[in-house]
Amino acid sequence: MSEYVFSPSTPPSLPVAGSDARFPIHRIYCIGRNYAEHVREMGREPDRGAPMFFLKPADTIVENGTTIPIPPGTENFHFEIELVAAIGKEGRNIPTESALDLVFGYGVGNDLTRRDLQLAMRDKGWPWEIGKSFEHCAACTAIHPVAEIGHPLENDIWLDQNGTRRQSGNTREMIFNLQEQISYLSELYVLRPGDLLFTGTPAGVGPIAAGDTLVGGVDGVDELTNTFR
């Protein structure tokens, strides 16, 4: 076998709760505009026409408890607390009725966003990449297996910034529920073990400053704590 010209990067991964094993990350899919009040605060109307997805590179993952640097190029760096589904089986053309069978477990994530750049790209009709995909932009807790916690599809989701509640909602309020998201993605991609799916954020997103502590949770799953510098 040929040598690599330089050493390949360590595969990105997250801890698995209650285990020494780790969850190796393949892709990070994210749905946008998936809670009605958040869609309105972004200046749009809720739409059941088709779900809207974007991706983050796997190596943007950041673990629970870490300090995250404010990224360059933004004056409006935002938090978005989200339920994260971790895919454990390969799947294509999956009906909604069996979509949850693909889920290995769940975590709590923060879809960190350079909001000013995202909206500038949106308003030009350009891709969002520079607003949504950058180093350290996908924070997530350990993955909690379904066998331990079930499917948190009617659970409160919230985020506190320096002790003040900023976001609150319930995962049942998703415009496209998790089964619909998995089914839709599986018609366009081959879902693979190791895929993460950030399932959207409730209303209340806002700016992060250096020195902030964010604590966010999905009740029954976990709490995600990160500080910023």
User: Per CB under 5 A, which region of 1-9, 79-87, 134-142, 209-217 contacts Mn ion?
Assistant: 79-87
Shortest Å, Cβ 199 to Mn ion? 9
Q: Which is nearer to Mn ion, 132 or 144 (CB)?
A: 132
Q: Restricting to residues 167-186, which ones interact with Mn ion according to CB under 5 A?
A: none
Q: Which is nearer to Mn ion, 133 or 201 (CB)?
A: 201
Q: Is residue 80 involved in binding Mn ion (CB under 5 A)?
A: yes
The residue whose two tokens read 């801890």 is 15
The size of the interface with Mn ion (CB under 5 A), counted in residues, is 3
**How far is Cα 135 from Cα 132, in angstroms, rounded to an integer?**
10
From residue 106 to residue 145, the character string flagging contacts with Mn ion as x (rule: CB under 5 A) and all else as - is -----x----------------------------------
Q: Which is nearer to Mn ion, 112 or 142 (CB)?
A: 112
Shortest Å, Cβ 6 to Mn ion? 34
**How far is Cα 146 from Cα 90, in angstroms, rounded to an integer?**
17
Question: Rounded to a whole number, what is the largest CA-CA distance in the chain?
Answer: 55
Q: Quick check: 180 and 49 in contact, CB under 8 A?
A: no
Q: Quick check: 144 and 199 in contact, CB under 8 A?
A: no
Q: 176: which DSSP letter?
A: S
**How far is Cα 162 from Cα 165, in angstroms, rounded to an integer?**
9
* 220 φ/ψ angles, rounded to the nearest 5 degrees: 90, -5
Q: Which is nearer to Mn ion, 79 or 228 (CB)?
A: 79
User: For binding to Mn ion (CB under 5 A), which residues are involved?
Assistant: 80, 111, 201
